Each structure stands twice: as structure tokens, then as C-alpha cells.
């Protein structure tokens, strides 16, 4: 059985137009599938980056219903791949002023098999830029991982996280019971925080958890004037960056070699040495 899995991170510069964003995502997922990717990750808010934070409230979908989820399901089924829908807004029952920022996983048959709601909500204010996700988002409560089976029959455990979660290593420790083979991070890191910390944190999470880290970011200047950092990448268990795209929409292709992951863990069994 092959120990290799081809993966892809999709980088976008999403707009306030949902239909336009879905068309862009469709084209890029198709490109990734044509290049042989079996697992594809879209960025945070791939479907919408509006002019105002509350724009996402108007496009929130009920779980299992709506054009955004229908598009994701159809793409996964059409290309027979695992598709992680970055994030999209899901309605919160009884609270029209907030949504879940949710990452949905679709299997190669187009079925939604896992959902993770972003736990850590970003707040930042440097006097020029101000963000407060709690104003429109409901925080998630639990870590989520799922098992994916490749076309060759290889099974791997995949942990989910979103953007600001990257700064909280305790979340990833929770996901390592049992250990994940791959950690996913759809993101829309700001230019200022991404420039300072993005690569540093991604490599740290990969090294300390001895697993692959696939990150798909928004990357460029958006119509609302916001600039996101991009630099979607695949990081290997020893901390090397094996593929990266600095800016602009496109596909980052990479390969997971689970025999390499096993070699790293057997040579330096740090996960077995945890005390706390």
C-alpha cells in the first residue's frame, strides 16, 4: 500500500460577491484535482470577505442547506476527493446576530462527514486596524478530527483548526489523542500579523506535534481594502516548508509521505515523552 498522499492548499483573494468566489474556488479545486490532489483545503472565508463584518450574517446557511455547501459537495463528488471547505458562515439557532465560522469536510462521495466551529476568536487593535470577531461570531466548544481513507486504502487522522487557533498550542495537543498525521489550517491572517508570525507558528505546530501542517490562506488586497498575508504552505514534520505561494490566487501542491512521518517519530519519540 502506498504511503503517499497528494494534497493541495487553495489560496484566494475573496470578494464580497459569493457567486464570484464560488466560481474561483471551483476553478482552483478543479486545477488541484487535475494535478492529482486527493485532499484539498480552501481558505477561511473562501466564499465571502465582505465590506463589513455583519455581511456574513446575510449569507449564513443552515447546516446541510444552501448554495455554498451544495457547491462544496458537488466538487468533492465530481473529483472524488476529500474537500475541506475552508470556512463558511453557519446560522446559530435563535441568534440572528451571530454565526458559526465553520470548517466542513466533504468525503469523495460528497457527504459532509465532519464540522469544526472556530474556537478562538480574533481581536486586534493597533490604532489603525481593528478586528473583533466576537461581535458577529459564536465561539466553538470542541476540537474535531476525522479519519480519511485514500484511493490506495491508506488511512490517516486529520485535525481541524482555523486561523487564530494557530496561536493556541493546547488545541493541537488535544488533537494529538491519538496523534494526527495531518493538521489543517484555513486562514485569513492579516498582513501585519502574518508577516511577523505566520511561518514561525506553522513550523512550530508541525515540529512540536511531529506531523504535517497544511495551511490555506487568503493572500492579497481585497475589495474592502483589507490586505491578507497569504503564504499558503505545506510544512513537514521536521519543520521544512515543502511548498508555498506568497500571494495571489492559486494552488499549492504538496505530498505527504507517512513513512517519513513515522521515521521522524521513531527517531525522536517526543510525543511519547509528554508528561503534562
Counted domains in the chain: 1
Of 51-55, 158-162, 207-211, the one with minimum mean pLDDT is 51-55
Question: By the 8 A CB rule, do 14 and 218 touch?
Answer: yes
Provide the pLDDT for residue 58: 95
Catalytic residue among 38, 47, 61, 118: 118
Looking at residue 127, its pLDDT comes to 77
Q: What is the pLDDT of residues 187-226, one digit of tens each?
A: 999 999 999 999 999 999 999 999 999 999 999 999 999 9
For the domain that residue 83 is a member of, what is the CATH number? 3.60.110.10
pLDDT in tens, 78-129: 999 999 999 999 999 999 999 999 999 999 999 999 999 999 999 888 877 7
Contacts of 233 (CB under 8 A, 6+ apart): 9, 199, 202, 214, 215, 241, 242, 243, 244, 245, 252
The active-site residue, picked from 47, 133, 163, 247, is: 163
pLDDT at 131 over 90: no
**Catalytic pick among 44, 61, 236, 247:** 44
Q: By percentage, how much of the chain surpasses pLDDT 70?
A: 100
| Residue 165 burial (C-beta neighbours within 10 Å; 0-12, 13-18, 19+) | buried
Catalytic: 44?
Answer: yes
Owning domain of residue 21? 4-273
Cα-Cα end-to-end distance for the chain: 36
Other beta carbons within 10 Å of 103 = 26
Amino acid at each position: 500500500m502506498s504511503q503517499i498522499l497528494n494534497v493541495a492548499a487553495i489560496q484566494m483573494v475573496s470578494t464580497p460577491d459569493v457567486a464570484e468566489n464560488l466560481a474561483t474556488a471551483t476553478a482552483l479545486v478543479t486545477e488541484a484535482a487535475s494535478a492529482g490532489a486527493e485532499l484539498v483545503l480552501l481558505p477561511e472565508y473562501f466564499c465571502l470577505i465582505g465590506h463589513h463584518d455583519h455581511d456574513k450574517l446575510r449569507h449564513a446557511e443552515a447546516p446541510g442547506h444552501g448554495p455554498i455547501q451544495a457547491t462544496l459537495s458537488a466538487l468533492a463528488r465530481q473529483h472524488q476527493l476529500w474537500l475541506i471547505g475552508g470556512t463558511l458562515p453557519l446560522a446559530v439557532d435563535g441568534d440572528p446576530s451571530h454565526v458559526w465560522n465553520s470548517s466542513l469536510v466533504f468525503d469523495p462521495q460528497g457527504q459532509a462527514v465532519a464540522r469544526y466551529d472556530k474556537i478562538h476568536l480574533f481581536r486586534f487593535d493597533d490604532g489603525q486596524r481593528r478586528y473583533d470577531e466576537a461581535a458577529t461570531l459564536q465561539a466553538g466548544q470542541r476540537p474535531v478530527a476525522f479519519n480519511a481513507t485514500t484511493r490506495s486504502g491508506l488511512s490517516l487522522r486529520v485535525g481541524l483548526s482555523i486561523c487564530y487557533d494557530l496561536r493556541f498550542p493546547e488545541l493541537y495537543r488535544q488533537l494529538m489523542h491519538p496523534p494526527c498525521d495531518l493538521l489543517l489550517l484555513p486562514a485569513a491572517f492579516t498582513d501585519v500579523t502574518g508577516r511577523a508570525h505566520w511561518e514561525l507558528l506553522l513550523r512550530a505546530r508541525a515540529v512540536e506535534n511531529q506531523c504535517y501542517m497544511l495551511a490555506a490562506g487568503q493572500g492579497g488586497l481585497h475589495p474592502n481594502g483589507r490586505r491578507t498575508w497569504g503564504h499558503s504552505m505545506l510544512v513537514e514534520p521536521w519543520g521544512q516548508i515543502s511548498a508555498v505561494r506568497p500571494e495571489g490566487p492559486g494552488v499549492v501542491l504538496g505530498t505527504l509521505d507517512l513513512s517519513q512521518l513515522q521515521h521522524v517519530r521513531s527517531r525522536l519519540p517526543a510525543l511519547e515523552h509528554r508528561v503534562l
